[in-house]
Amino acid sequence: MAEDRDLATMTCDYPLGPLGEYVAGEIVKLIVLLQERDLIPRTNDALERGVAFRNGVFEVRPDTMDCACGAIDDPGHLTGCPVKIPNFRCGDLVVGWEGKIGLGMSTNRREVNEREFRDVFERCRESLGQ
């Protein structure tokens, strides 16, 4: 990947707001494409929480509630705790969700627009031969 920084060192501090619905839908479409290509198992859980997949362009990982840092509430989790690790990355753009795809959607950038996300998801599809 162009951005080879470990996802565990990254954070998603900026809510996506209304753009979150679009981003969630595109991530689910990518997961369906991965399933259709038999690159990941065909499970409903993958469509709800995410799935572990990585190629040279993007990566996606399931959300987890398995805390490794001992924090009791969300603001207390440390960077690198599995609960805080983002769920999607393409280049330097990172997205996270809380529990299920679409809930609590956030990103690592203060300002990002739908056009930028469209370009990101197009790159992801192209990397899968679509």
The string of pLDDT tens digits covering residues 19-46 is 999 999 999 999 999 999 999 988 888 8
pLDDT exceeds 70 at position 4: no
Helices (H), ranges, the chain: 19-36, 44-49, 114-127
CB 16 within 8 A of CB 106: yes
Q: Within 13 Å and on the Cβ side, how many CA atoms surround 37?
A: 13
CB 106 within 8 A of CB 13: yes
The amino acid that residue 107 corresponds to is T
pLDDT exceeds 60 at position 3: no
pLDDT of amino acid 75: 66
